[in-house]
Chain A
Amino acid sequence: MNIPFSGQIINMCAALLLLIAFAMLSQRRILSLINLFALQGLILAVSTSVVAYSSHQVHLYYSAALTLLLKAVALPLILHRLIRKLNVKWDVETLFNIPTTMLAGLALVVFAFNLAAPISQMAGTITKSTLGIAMASVLLSFLMMITRSKAVPQVVGFLAMENGLFFAATSATYGMPMVVELGIALDVLVGMLILGIFFFQIRTAFDSLDLEHMEKLKED
């Protein structure tokens, strides 16, 4: 087992990402959730720039900078402002209790690793062992979206899922083409803004950000 130093850093970043994904899954408070999300963005930026350094891919530096700017600074700031305005920084209700969710999360991680094993063997990059983790963090974020009943954590889950996808892209293929990456970054930003507007609309319509109220919208 002879992994270069940069590879070891990337592996550590991957481990941290997985840890944060679990932390997010278990976190009850929205404020901490957003801080975790910002941390995730930071780690993502670090790992991307390390991949860029070790593989001499110049465009990855740009995407690392973009990630830092967007996911570690801009989006958390927007979210912070949003929850201050909406006044919802306190506890969140989960639909299932947290230990159950964590167990389900464990199963998902096993599934993700199992899934990534054949792909990792074929991948020739220095970061091949991290694909499973990337996949696991995507699935865990998805699980978080499903188990939360309030709107803001769901959006955080959505953004975290994008982080996982991004990590999968850098780890498996040295990143996507710049055009695609720029497009996704823009999508995330715009999506965030639109969802922010939705929050206000949902709250004025239902007096709460609890999505259970939206069941009333069903047409029979």
Chain B
Amino acid sequence: MFASFGVLPMDVILGVVVFWLALGTAGLVLQNSRFITRIIFPLGALGSLVLAGAALAGLNEVSTAILPLGLPDLPFHLRMDALSAFFLLLLGSASIGISLFSAGYFHGMPKSALGPLCLEYHIFLAGMALVFLADDAYLFMVAWESMALSSYFLVTTDHDHPEVRRAGFLYLLIAHVGAIAILMCFGVMHGGHGGHGGYTFDAMRHGQLPAFWASVTFFLALFGFGAKAGILPLHAWLPEAHPAAPSPVSAMMSGIMLKTAIYGILRVTFDLLDVQLWWWGVFALALGLLTALFGVIFAAVQSDMKRLLAFSSIENIGFILTGIGLTIIFHDSHKEALAALALTATLYHALNHAFMKGLLFLGTGSILHATGERHLGKLGGLIRRMPELALLMLVGALALAGLPPLNGFVSEWLLLQAFLLSPGLPQPYVNMLVPIAAAALALAAALAGYVMVKFYGVIFLGQPRDSSLAEVHDAGLWERIGMLCMAVGCIALGVFPSFVILHLDFVTEMLVHHSLSASAAKTGWLLLTPIEAERASYGPLVLLLIIVGGSLLTAFAVKKFYHGRVRRGPAWDCGFPAQTARMQDTAEGFGQPIRQIFEWYMGVVRQVPAPFDRHPHFHSETHDLLWNIFYAPAKRMNDAAGKLMGKLQHGRIHIYLLYSFVTLLALLAFVR
């Protein structure tokens, strides 16, 4: 498409990056809130569209470039291959809707805050694009850190609130711990070959690491990127930062930024390292399952809608990590077809999650704008006040619940297919454990459905739980357009899986040297058959037609044959006429069974009223036990070390200077 104009896709993408940076700067300089929201953000969305198109065009080619930026003698290396192009496609296509939504969402913000926000937002986008393009450790770290820092400032947009500052700090801390691990991972790979130009990925690709050091690299990458992705036990920042950030930022972080970490893990494991060991896969698989279960169980007991979605993001990252683990296991056992299947499912889920979680986070933004309330206990019945929002959110909720014919189902189904096809692995214990893992995955998927019923039901159905909800208006036009883009993405990805897999093939071909589409589209593009038609196949378009046709037919039949005999009457009041909105099932009530079952898994603090208390008060809080296991001791140790160091402090500047003087003299005498 672009080649016919003599322009490489990568040039177009670099152009978009520069365009984004220029837009951000323009927003900061001009500080005109109407201009920023009505011109800059839509233009940013246009840039995303161009980026997505270029990435799609660049899926089947490899192009490299060297930018003479950076330090002298240390230029930036760029490379776009199928893996980068796929993630750039994810970034571009998912950020169109988010930028359009932002055009509406940030309207009316004070312009002193809007200018910097516009700059950070576009730096964030550009940083993520450069992470995907980087072909050396240097540019990668620069892009990675600018992404982390700009997102930190975006999270702390409402920095007047102390809890927002605290959330931002936690995010920054974990992001930096992760960045150190990533740096060390590159360092180990750099040591693998020595020589000049060692910081480029190209040199690392040709390096030969012994198994021990390869494992060290893999685990450093898993830790470092896991901190960004929210893999257990580095998930603590997600449920804090997502509620604190403005909703489009949450959507961007959850939908797209978490995927940069997935990109990093895939890049290091399958591209930069020349060996993959099966036990890494087992570890990643187990960790992914734990993360998924942890996320979904905690999502079920949340009563803050954005926290709930944040935990659901942890769950989805767990899913993706499980897929990566499975890919490694298959790849190491030379079952390339299965590895391609698992990898396809992984990538597909990453793409899907960007759209469905983005959509839901944007929706929470509209709800927050309309009602000023994040707590599920104060919402309810919004389907009558915000019907269009409710419809869009329904798409997202159904997709996240993994129901056909939407996109969430396809990737989860593919992953489960990969699990079911796994017998025949050479490692007998792995062979036995895989069905258990599949069962755990199914449990997580089912609980995700439960979570979405709770999320959607409590917000949109029933009666308004607060009288202030009566005069709520539907979301603005820009916001609805943005969400519509995401919803269309969810539906399209669900209905045309064969097309998506056709494009994913470039990536699987590159990483595991096998592609899926030959078998997937064997029976025509209408039917998706991951391995062979006799085993399993799925025709989403047929399903969609049946669902739509069946519903229309039923509606028609009801209208035609029962018309006039339909009566509207009051719902049965269970014999108790004085019902109020407070008598509905609450978010806490809905999550109670899960809380009961998994109480050992989480710290529950409950305050139950005495039987004869005239003003009974019930209070229940759920804590993350992992915080006490991992984070609290680290904090205590840090504090203790700080106290110890404090003993050196006398408050006299001369003493401090003397410290360094004596150190200097001692070192000089030592090297003498």
With contacts A115-B668, A179-B72, A219-B646 taken as known, whether A146 is within 8 angstroms of B654 at the C-beta atoms is: yes
B66 within 8 A of A: no
Min CB gap B648→A, angstroms: 11
**Does any Cβ of A come within 8 Å of B535's Cβ?**
no
Beta-carbon contacts under 8 Å, B632-666 to A: 646, 649-654, 657-658, 660-661, 664-665
Cβ-neighbour of B654 out of A95, A118, A216 (below 8 A): A95
Provide the bound-state CA to CA distance between A111 and B646, in Å.
32
How far, in angstroms, from A218 to B658 measured CA to CA in the complex?
17
Chain A hits for B650, CB < 8 A: 215, 218
Contact B653 A217 (CB under 8 A): no
Q: Give how many A residues have a beta carbon under 8 Å from the other chain's beta carbons.
A: 22
Contact B657 A115 (CB under 8 A): no
- A143 to B654: give the CA distance in the assembly, Å: 10
Whether the pair B661, A142 counts as a contact (CB closer than 8 A) is yes
Select one of A95, A111, A145, A179 contacting B665, CB under 8 A. A111
A-B contact count (CB 8 A): 44
Give the complex CA separation of A179 and B651 in angstroms: 36
Contact of A216 among B651, B660, B668, B669 (CB under 8 A): B651
Complex-state Cα separation, A95 to B649, whole angstroms? 19
Per-position 1/0 for A106-149, Cβ under 8 A of B: 00000100110010000000000000000000010011011101
Q: Is the CB of A143 within 8 A of B646?
A: no
Contact with B along A200-217 (1 / 0, CB 8 A): 000000000001101111
The DSSP consensus for interface residues of chain B is helix
B671's nearest neighbour on chain A, judged by CB, is A115
Interface contact A215-B657, CB-CB below 8 Å: no
Q: In this complex, what residue of A is CB-closest to B651?
A: A218
Q: How far is the CA of A146 from the CA of B659 in the complex (A)?
A: 10
- State whether B649 touches A218 (Cβ < 8 A): yes
Which of B72, B646, B651, B668 contacts A217 (CB under 8 A)?
Answer: B651
Within the complex, what minimum Cβ distance (angstroms) separates B85 from chain A? 36
CA distance A55 to B657 in the complex (A): 37
Q: How many angstroms from the CA of A120 to the CA of B534 in the assembled complex?
A: 83
Q: Which residue of A lies closest to B652 (CB)?
A: A215
- Nearest B-chain residue to A217, judged by Cβ: B651
Report the minimum CB–CB distance from B399 to chain A (whole Å).
52
Is B653 in contact with A214, judged by CB distance below 8 angstroms?
Answer: yes
Chain A CB within 8 A of B672 CB = yes
- B500, chain A: closest CB distance, angstroms: 48
- Asked if A48 CB lies within 8 Å of chain B CBs, one says no
Per-residue contact bits, chain B 448-477, to A (CB 8 Å; 1 contact, 0 not): 000000000000000000000000000000
Report chain A residues within 8 Å CB of B654. Answer: 95, 146-147, 149, 211
| Chain A positions 156 through 199: 1 when the CB is less than 8 Å from some CB of chain B, otherwise 0 | 00000000000000000000000100000000000000000000
Contact B658 A146 (CB under 8 A): yes
Residue of B nearest to A114 (CB): B672
* Chain B residues within 8 Å of A101, by CB: none
A164 to chain B, nearest CB (A): 12
> What mask results when residues 58 to 81 of chain B are scored 1 for a CB within 8 Å of chain A, else 0?
000000000000011000000000
Contact A146 B661 (CB under 8 A): yes
Contacts of A214 in B (CB 8 A): 651-653
A interface residues with partner B (beta carbon < 8 Å): 95, 111, 114-115, 118, 139, 142-143, 145-147, 149, 154, 179, 211-212, 214-219
Nearest 8 interchain pairs by C-beta: A218-B651, A215-B651, A146-B657, A211-B653, A142-B661, A145-B657, A146-B654, A115-B672
List 19 A-B residue pairs with CB atoms under 8 Å apart, sorted by A's residue number: A115-B669, A118-B672, A139-B664, A142-B657, A142-B660, A143-B661, A146-B654, A146-B661, A147-B654, A154-B657, A179-B72, A211-B653, A215-B651, A215-B652, A216-B651, A218-B649, A218-B650, A218-B651, A219-B646
